[in-house]
Chain A
């Protein structure tokens, strides 16, 4: 267990030394959300109508940005071999990496959600649910993304392959996440959709690290 925390704290330490990676994801998220009013027009009802889906899609795309370096950087400088020999099972290593990715990308995106929601004219009552939905959806993406990053490691054009592999898997997260925000915006109960998102996370949490671990071992 201490090896797990060692890997996780190292991820956070490296993210603090390179804040540009986290900032880039947050800026990307906010800027993509800012593009919608330009493209669709500033009509408040139209914007509010597309806000849930736009928020989800932008956040997942932003969280995807740092994924191809998740294992790539470690493999290049030889750290990956040391991590695989650290005495930590590969699946636990992948779980630490996934949690590190969420803490350094998913969590900062949550903090930027109110700004993005305001630009998309999402009713203020729905902001809380939007943050919960985005938190759960980005966690699912961090897990599937870690598995995808491990699988595409060493592949030529891995950076292109990764979104093709991960985005289809995150479709359910977009559906339930957007449905939850939509329900909250309409004054309905969002809880069932959030629970479904939680169930998705509960499935991904054990499976994705196992898949990533197997892929790392075969590397």
Chain B
């Protein structure tokens, strides 16, 4: 279970948010909403351990999560705005790297996002929606306790959003938690909303 207490983040020369409290149970989902620049992405980066809070605590199962950021990183998957793909490598090679880090079956993950037919093409020729789907395939590789998703459905067609819905449902049924920042409707039934 993830818990944020009185969190505040400093970015550039201003406080992005302060006094932020939230709770996220196992199997739960938290939807981050708010205007552009409200700090949705920053909160996701904070929870990932990429940005330190200037105040407050982030607790995982009651223990300070940021004290050991390397083991905290191992229990989460972070999907940022950027797809983190290398254009010169094929879809399979891009995913195989992450499979070596985290374990998991590359073919099955590609199948789940519907990219098996394009697996041997360099990512350079992919459309932006296809790149997004390949980034989402990282989530399907191997189980992790916490998914942090930043605008996961940008550029996706209806079919792919449904596929993401299936991925999210499997993840939550296995007790995984989801934290997602979005402006678009997400396939996350009974998610709680946190407006920044």
Contact = CB atoms under 8 A, between A and B. Distances in A.
B135 to A, nearest CB: 8
Contacts of A87: 70-71, 73-74, 101-102
A81 B51 CA distance: 11
Nearest to B82: A78
Contact of B84 (A2, A5, A82): A82
A85 B86 contact: no
Interface residues of B, number: 27
A78 B45 CA distance: 12
Interface bracket on A: 20 to 34
A81 B88 contact: no
Contacts of A107: none
A87 B74 CA distance: 5
Contact of A85 (B49, B88, B97): B49
Nearest to B50: A81
B76 A85 contact: yes
A81 B78 contact: yes
Q: Could you tell me the dominant secondary structure of chain A's interface residues?
A: helix
B100 A85 contact: no
A6 B101 contact: yes
Nearest to B87: A77
Interface of A: 2-3, 5-6, 10, 13-14, 17-18, 76-79, 81-82, 84-89, 217
B93 A13 contact: yes
Contacts of B70: 87-89
B84 A79 contact: yes
Contacts of A2: 100
A138 B93 CA distance: 30
Interface in B71-130: 71, 73-74, 76, 78, 80-86, 88-89, 93, 97-98, 100-102
